[in-house]
Amino acid sequence: MPGTRLVDSGRVRPDARAWFADRTTSATSLAAIDAAALLQAKRRSGDRISVVLPARNEEATVGRLVADLHARWVREVPLVDELVVVDSDSTDRTAAVARAAGADVVATTDVLPGHGTRRGKGEALWKSLAATTGDLVVFLDADLLGDVSHYVPGLLGPLLTDPQVDYVKGCYTRPLEVGDSVVPAGGGRVTELTARPLLNALWPELAGFVQPLGGEYAGRRTALEQVPFVSAYGVEVGLLIDLLRLGGLGSLAQVDLGERRHTSQSVEALGEMAGQVVATVLARAASDREPSGLLTQFRHDGAAFVPRTSAVAVDERPPMADVPEYREQLAG
């Protein structure tokens, strides 16, 4: 069509394209993973490995997930030294179910009590650093469905084999279950509609990340304790930007883990999540405007639209390395 500018959709910034080519590996099933070699690499490195599941009201899914991970990676192949569920203000039986399945369980309110407690996933992840001892820490959501035991070695692979890598994100296809039907790539709605456009706009070097908000990732403690943890759902995008700044693109990697299914939230809840992601990004982007910290959404009550404004402002915890109690704990 005359006058239409052909946009080469394959054009990604050279550094992002090179990163995507060099730092994306695949571990889409257990068959694709040499667990014995990883165990050997772990023993050679002398690293301890912690797996952390932040969980708020996940009694329906956390038990099977923990039982699978414990059987496979604590008992059968001792890749994991501690499997910890961080109970994040649950009001159901998450803690009891997780403990019965073999996890150690800590409540966010019981960790670093001198620093109080805040709501949100980021708080659970920040406190998990003070509740675990692993040199390498793997984070998995507690609402994952299906067999995901290969996620753990998949995420650990780059950390155990490449000393340059400090942080690894999982990537996957994300089918979205809506009632009885499945939308093949319908999941990751906040990623597709908010995080990806923002990151591409402001940090184009991160354009190669397939799932920048994915809840499955792993990192070296020496890196994780140097960055802030955003208190709520901004934690993933905050970690990605801050770890890019800390170690550069060469310190980051991603692993194709195949497919990810989880229990999804409502669009309204994801709207608040998107607000927190935006607040986190704006706090990191040079900007002459102070974010409002508010999000107004609308419901239709049959006669008219009804506005509902929620606070999406986020605060954050400091790098754990700056916390005296944590340093004393490490010093033993």
Ligand X SMILES: O=C(O)[C@@H](COP(=O)(O)O)O[C@H]1O[C@H](CO)[C@@H](O)[C@H](O)[C@H]1O
Ligand Y SMILES: O=c1ccn([C@@H]2O[C@H](COP(=O)(O)OP(=O)(O)O)[C@@H](O)[C@H]2O)c(=O)[nH]1
Q: Which of 61, 128, 132, 191 binds ligand X (CB under 6 A)?
A: 191
Residues 6 or more apart from 99 whose CB is under 8 A from it?
A: 85, 105
Q: Which residue type sits at 239? A: L
Task: Say whether residue 174 binds ligand Y (CB under 6 A).
Answer: no
Q: Decide: 165 and 252 in contact? Cβ < 8 Å.
A: yes
Question: Which one, 54 or 247, has the nearer CB to ligand Y?
Answer: 54
Positions in 25-54 near ligand Y (CB under 6 A): 54
Residue 279, both tokens: 């607040």
Residue 296, both tokens: 């107004």
Q: Which residue type sits at 218? A: A
Rg (CA), the chain: 20
Residues 6 or more apart from 3 whose CB is under 8 A from it?
A: none
The one of ligand X, ligand Y, none whose footprint includes residue 189, by CB under 5 to 8 A per kind, is ligand X
- Where residue 48 falls (left for φ over 0; alpha for ψ -120 to 50; beta otherwise) is beta
Q: Which of 81, 87, 141, 272 binds ligand X (CB under 6 A)?
A: 141
> In the complex, which residue's CB is closest to ligand X?
215
Q: Which of 264, 292, 297, 310 binds ligand Y (CB under 6 A)?
A: 264
Q: Which of 206, 213, 314, 320 binds ligand X (CB under 6 A)?
A: 213
Task: Say whether residue 28 binds ligand X (CB under 6 A).
Answer: no
Phi and psi torsions of 319, nearest 5°: -55, 135
Q: Which of 154, 157, 158, 215 binds ligand X (CB under 6 A)?
A: 215
The one of ligand X, ligand Y, none whose footprint includes residue 143, by CB under 5 to 8 A per kind, is ligand Y
Task: Say whether residue 158 binds ligand Y (CB under 6 A).
Answer: no
Q: Which of 153, 158, 170, 215 binds ligand Y (CB under 6 A)?
A: 215
Give whole-number Cα distances, 279 to 194, 231, 318, in Å.
11, 11, 17
Q: Decide: 47 and 160 in contact? Cβ < 8 Å.
A: yes
Rounded to an integer, what is the distance from CA 226 to the centroid of its chain? 17
Positions in 217-276 near ligand X (CB under 6 A): 233, 236, 264-265, 270, 273
The one of ligand X, ligand Y, none whose footprint includes residue 165, by CB under 5 to 8 A per kind, is none
Q: Which residue type sits at 195? A: A
Q: Which residues bind ligand Y (CB under 6 A)?
A: 54-56, 58, 88, 119-121, 124, 141-143, 215, 262, 264-265
Q: Which residues bind ligand X (CB under 6 A)?
A: 121, 141, 174, 176, 187-191, 213-215, 233, 236, 264-265, 270, 273
